[in-house]
């Protein structure tokens, strides 16, 4: 568990979604939009290929918070802005910095990037500490 005081940077979370992740996640989430599971369709509508589900990327942001705070019980709230498209087979990096701690709750600002692009930004997590 990281020492969560203002200014603390969370350990980076790096994960590389494999080429089949979008198909597995479609089954788990119930989101079978063809932009996530059909390479040809995704290209036909102007995408670079299949794209990651935004909620999968958000889950990685949540994972970074819970790992830093000692478990999922600590995450009390999470808000994110989806700002880019993630793709399979390219590393996603989640970074965060503790902005404030009040009454045992840390506010953590977080960003998820892939290929130098912020795919989630202005994310704020409320994490119970102590």
Q: Please say whether the dihedral angle defined by the alpha carbons of residues 101, 107, 109 and 112, taken in this order, is positive or negative.
A: positive
Question: Is 3.10.129.10 the CATH classification of the domain at 13-18+51-128?
Answer: yes
Domain boundaries, the chain: 13-18+51-128
Can you tell me the distance from the alpha carbon of 17 to that of 13, in angstroms, rounded to the nearest whole number? 13
With contact defined as beta carbons under 8 Å apart, do 82 and 119 qualify?
A: yes
What is the Cα Rg of the chain in Å? 16
pLDDT tens digits, residue range 28-38?
Answer: 999 999 999 99
* pLDDT value of residue 94: 98
The pTM for the full model equals 0.92
Look at residues 99, 95, 105 and name the one whose alpha carbon lies nearest to residue 128: 105
CA 126 vs. chain centroid, Å, equals 15
């Amino acid at each position: 568990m990281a020492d969560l005081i203002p200014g603390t940077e969370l350990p980076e979370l790096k994960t590389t979604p494999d080429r089949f992740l979008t198909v597995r996640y479609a089954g788990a989430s119930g989101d079978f939009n063809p932009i996530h599971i059909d390479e040809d369709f995704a290209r036909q509508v102007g995408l670079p290929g299949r794209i990651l589900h935004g909620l999968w990327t958000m889950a990685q942001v949540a994972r970074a918070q819970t790992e830093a705070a000692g478990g999922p019980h600590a995450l009390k709230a999470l808000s994110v802005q989806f700002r880019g498209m993630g793709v399979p087979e390219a590393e996603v990096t989640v970074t965060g910095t503790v902005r404030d701690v009040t009454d045992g709750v840390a506010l953590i600002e977080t960003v998820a990037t892939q290929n130098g692009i912020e795919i989630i930004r202005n994310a704020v997590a409320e994490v119970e500490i102590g």
